[in-house]
Amino acid sequence: MQPSSAPLPLYPGHWYAWQCISADDGADSYFSPVYLKRIVARGGLAPVLTLAIANVLNLDRPQDEILSLRTIRHDCRLLIADVMEPGQAPASTVIVTPITFGWLRRHTPHILDQHPSTLLDHADTASADRYLGRAFPYVARPSLCHDGGGR
């Protein structure tokens, strides 16, 4: 078991729970499982993470994104960060946590309805990470996120 002070590990090739909270009126806030394709960390007073992700429910359409996140809090349970746009104030804040079936049932039940676990191998229903990999196999394919392109 990791010490409580160690930050939540983020590994490329894995799924995470993503809550995006809009900085304005909250109209563009949403929940989505995201697949982490790449991560680059830069230190400083406010550490910045650059993530390449496949966001399967970004405003209800799948999208590959490259995002710069300024860390607000990163502990053993979660990452809270502002989404940075060059020369602008943050437009949103994200909360990243480990993905679980409980999270999927609570925040994105339509995914479980559209991709019933009975259609998947038993081993794939043992973890939400494996289940999502089978439900959304296309996200692991190379994309603009892998070769430095992007948004």
Q: What secondary structure letter does DSSP report for 84? A: E
Question: Is it the case that residue 117 has pLDDT exceeding 80?
Answer: no
Domain residue spans in the chain?
A: 15-137
Question: Is it the case that residue 151 has pLDDT exceeding 90?
Answer: no
The pLDDT tens digits for 123-142 are: 655 789 988 988 888 887 76
Closest C-alpha among 67, 20, 21, 65 to residue 48: 67
Q: 5 or 84, which is more confident?
A: 84
Please, are residues 68 and 42 in contact by the beta-carbon 8 Å criterion? no
Looking at the chain, the whole-number percentage of residues with pLDDT higher than 90 is 49
pTM: 0.83
Torsion of CA 76, 108, 30, 140, to 10 degrees: 70
How many Å apart are CA 14 and CA 84, to the nearest integer? 23
pLDDT confidence bin for 149, thresholds 50/70/90? very low
pLDDT for residue 59: 64
Question: Is it the case that residue 9 has pLDDT exceeding 70?
Answer: yes
Closest C-alpha among 107, 65, 59 to residue 84: 65
Question: Is it the case that residue 145 has pLDDT exceeding 60?
Answer: no
The pLDDT tens digits for 25-84 are: 767 789 999 999 999 988 766 689 999 999 998 765 678 999 999 999 999 999 999 999
